[in-house]
Amino acid sequence: MLDVAMLLDGRAPTTPAEIEYIAARTRAMVDLASAAERQREEEARRSRLSIEEEQTQARQAKAAMADAMQEIEVTTGTGSLREMKRVLRLMRGEEGDGPNAKPDQP
């Protein structure tokens, strides 16, 4: 718009040529601003999709890890859940030498 400012030199446009010169540049600036806004919106949309994709992959990885840990516990007969149940049976006297003792159960 410097060229418009230089053309007008601080005065209002007075001829049809000046008015058209200014209008053409105004339209071009509006088109450029609109294109920049559309590009910004598209980049934001792609960024949101990328974030959603990363979140989905993270959830899938966590679920796979939980499944794998459970499978290891089942396969090996070990794990925190099994141990907590054993301790609970001991506390209740259902295991060991107590009167309610039963054989070790998973």
Indicate the burial class of 101 (C-beta count within 10 angstroms; 0-12, 13-18, 19 or more).
middle
State the total domains in the chain: 1
CA distance readout (Å), 104 to 25, 77, 88: 87, 12, 12
Residue 11 counted as domain residue: yes
Domain that includes residue 58, residue range: 2-92
Residue 49 counted as domain residue: yes
- Global pTM? 0.48
Residue 33 counted as domain residue: yes
Residue 47 counted as domain residue: yes
Residue 99 counted as domain residue: no
Residue 9 counted as domain residue: yes
pLDDT band at 104 (very low <50, low <70, confident <90, very high): low
Residue 106 counted as domain residue: no
Q: Provide the pLDDT for residue 77.
A: 84
Residue 34 counted as domain residue: yes
